[in-house]
Amino acid sequence: MNSRYRIFAGLIVCATTSTALAELTAQPFLSPPRLLEKSQTGTLKAIELAQPSTGCDPAGDITRDGQTVELNLQVQKRENYIYNPGSPDGAKDKVMLRSYGGCLTGPLIDVQPGNTLRVHLDNQLEKNDPSCPGGLDPANGDPGCFNTINLHYHGMHVSPSGNSDNVLLNIAPQTKFEYEVNIPTDHPSGTFWYHAHRHGSTALQVASGAAGALIVRGNRAYTGDKPGDIDTILKDAAGKPLTEQVFLFQQIPYACFDDKGNIITQKDGTWSCPGDKTGVVENFDAQLSSPTVWDNSGRFTSINGAVQPTLRGIAAGEIQRWRFIHGGIHDTVNLQIVPMNTSGSKASLALQGILGGTPKEQAALIADLCPVTVPDSSKPVELVPQFEIAADGLTRTAIRPIGVNKKSVSGGIGSNFLQPGYRSDVLLMFPRDGTYCVLNQAATPAERANAGPNGGPGGQGPNETQLLATVIVSGGKVVTDDPQSYIQQALYDANKGSSLPVAALEGLRSGNLKPWRAMPDLKDATVNDDIQKADFFIGYPPFPPAAPATAPKKPGDPWSGAFGFFINYKSYDPDRIDFTRQVNTTDDWVLTSQGEPHIFHIHVNPFQVMDVLYAKPGEKPKSIFGPNGECLVPADELGLQNQYCGMWHEFKDTIFVQNDYQVLVRTHYDRYIGEFVIHCHILDHEDGGMMTNIQIVPDLNAVGGGIGMAGMKHTSHQHSDVKKQ
């Protein structure tokens, strides 16, 4: 597809037309779409074209008035196009997805600490929803109500109650609702995101593109008494903020169905959308509910709505900030960056964006284009290292090098492991001109979900290495210095003339980021005596072994006998609270998984990773860390422990929990009371029942936890259905 642009009354829109395959040029790297920004005088100003190659229109605007940021967000089912290298004619597939304004990804939202964010959510989806009979969830507890929505502000430390970050709301079709999110003045700056989160429809809606980047930008300088915002030191020698790129990774498993309701496939089994068919995400079981779906489908991970885009305009030696957001629902991205072998005969095809073929068919080609070893040589290809400054939006204590002195050999050694829900902010620098591959590196058998002894499809990384994007670097200067020293010295030089305290300035040379870490260390915090546990399990009851023979048989009961998705042997019940904790106290949690890996996510309050224990079955668990947080696993040893090596005493809100591991985390229930959720961020697991409610109360020892007055007839546990306005 190519694009022709038209301007009407200050609004920029685009129209798309088909072209022959030979006329295709590289898929452009697209920044996330932005809405039009309206000044206080009411004048519309185009601040950035909204995804020019997709034809979407967010159909809204952003207004800033002092500390208040307002935007309109329309949930629609509209036609769009996704580039499909595996399509026989190399064209884009027509899709019809539930998303914001018909875009493949939601508009980027920029806010600051102290802002009030008002989102006018307009659910324009059809009332006729076969998955929601009579407006109610399916009686058997299956996922459903795919046209009923709400919003979650993932990673944000804001209230979970009322019309704030409340995922217990149901915004029905043809309904408008206003969210008001009050961002505290001490909120950390960082990379967050928002997405649909109505239980039963979360996975299907996020897999349709109902997700977007949310960035909190801070200008608080570190003066020695309070933490500053890392944004204030990320600048070049001229004082200009470092160029940043936002990467929202999405895995949209659209399929086309025949008249009998079966997915249309090609001869090799991968999904196909003939020219007269439209791709949809409608069938939970066929398109979402399996660890093998993404591998089997032949679909491609997209970045801000574009498949295998080419990023240009970067100079050698230039330091940039890349914000990675994993907005997929199930599969890991093992991200590596390596030089492209431009002497190969297929390099021109990659640069034109017409590499062609399914992921399986591309695998051999990518091995030639983006080699793990130089042909006819034993010399491995060095990775382009990434230097992580923040995880899940929260600044680290120190810069974490990823891929330094590692060879691109396989299995994600030196990879930036991005699990669904993760965010990773990195600084990077390309040392010389050239073309580079951004890869989703193939996983080893040990990293495969449901792998068994010999590995298998589905889960923690692809079976074959996949090309995510191409980067063209031109101009600038060749850098022969150690890349970490080069970046850290550049930060020092850029801040040398500032009012930064001497110790903080000198610390930049060694990668020390503690002055900009907004989260207080919980290492010496007073912790509640009762340790909380979250054990993830998929399977069949009865359990535990001593379950009484007369146990109830209602849906959701831990001994109902039905196959299910469980936390602590309980499937989700929206009317049951499993954890009640007291505000302004601190808990230790032990996280475990059985059967296959899961991903722990808690709303509202992030947690500090205190330790990770590992043991083979029957052995005593041991920490994978030394006394100072050094990882005891050899750097180049294959295995999942490499995912945990950089997490000791760092803060996160989402964490991968692998079998045979115990992940020990500590969280402080700061400021907010109310009810919210804990769940697996493999979102089809969450919709299947792997979620639980937690309530934070003012006083555990008071009647009703201190909520309401003694003797009141109604309970404090209320869920809201938002009716048509």
* Shared domain check, 172 and 295: no
Domain of residue 710 covers 532-722
* Shared domain check, 557 and 423: no
* Shared domain check, 51 and 163: yes
User: How far is residue 665's CA from residue 591's CA, in Å, rounded to a whole number?
Assistant: 8
Give the per-residue SS3 of 618-654: CCCCEECECCCCCECCCCCCCCCHHHHCCCCCCEECE
Tokens of 592: 């475990």
Residue 50 pLDDT greater than 50, yes or no: no
Per-residue pLDDT, 194: 98
Q: What percent of the chain has pLDDT over 90?
A: 63
Residues 180-237 pLDDT 10s: 999 999 999 999 999 999 999 999 999 999 999 999 999 999 999 899 999 999 999 9
Residue 378 pLDDT greater than 80, yes or no: no
Residue 23 pLDDT greater than 50, yes or no: no
Residues 514-533 pLDDT 10s: 999 999 999 999 999 999 99
Per-residue pLDDT, 451: 45
* Shared domain check, 210 and 338: no
**Residue 360: closest CA among 249, 271, 465:** 465
190, 218, 246 — which closes off a domain?
218
pLDDT band at 55 (very low <50, low <70, confident <90, very high): low
* Shared domain check, 536 and 477: no
| pLDDT greater at residue 22 or residue 363 | 363
**CB burial class (10 A; 0-12, 13-18, 19+) of residue 3?**
middle
* Shared domain check, 470 and 327: yes
User: How far is residue 303's CA from residue 596's CA, in Å, rounded to a whole number?
Assistant: 27
pLDDT band at 536 (very low <50, low <70, confident <90, very high): very high
* Shared domain check, 446 and 311: yes
| pLDDT greater at residue 22 or residue 449 | 449
Residues 94-122 pLDDT 10s: 999 999 988 999 999 999 999 999 999 99
Residue 2 pLDDT greater than 60, yes or no: no
Q: How many domains does the chain have?
A: 3
**CB burial class (10 A; 0-12, 13-18, 19+) of residue 373?**
middle
Mean pLDDT of 485-508: 96
Rounded to the nearest 5 degrees, what angle is found at the Cα of 535, between the Cα atoms of 529 and 536?
A: 155
User: How far is residue 694's CA from residue 676's CA, in Å, rounded to a whole number?
Assistant: 6
Domain presence at residue 257: no
> What's the CATH code of the domain at 25?
2.60.40.420
Domain presence at residue 510: no
Q: Where are the alpha helices (DSSP H) in 455-577?
A: 483-495, 502-508
Domain presence at residue 448: yes
User: How far is residue 172's CA from residue 598's CA, in Å, rounded to a whole number?
Assistant: 30
* Shared domain check, 182 and 301: no
Per-residue pLDDT, 33: 84
Residues 685-708 pLDDT 10s: 999 999 999 999 999 999 989 987
pLDDT band at 56 (very low <50, low <70, confident <90, very high): low
Residues 708-720 pLDDT 10s: 776 665 554 444 4
* Shared domain check, 310 and 165: no
Per-residue pLDDT, 446: 60
**Averaged pLDDT of the chain:** 85
DSSP-assigned letters across all residues of 200-219: TTHHHHHTTT-EEEEEE---
* Shared domain check, 538 and 466: no
| pLDDT greater at residue 29 or residue 451 | 29
Per-residue pLDDT, 295: 85
Mean pLDDT of 66-84: 91
Per-residue pLDDT, 695: 98
Entry pTM = 0.91
Domain presence at residue 279: no
* Shared domain check, 389 and 310: yes
Domain presence at residue 352: yes
Domain presence at residue 521: no
443, 462, 482 — which closes off a domain?
482
160, 190, 218 — which closes off a domain?
218
Domain presence at residue 238: no
* Shared domain check, 469 and 547: no
Mean pLDDT of 144-172: 97
Domain presence at residue 488: no
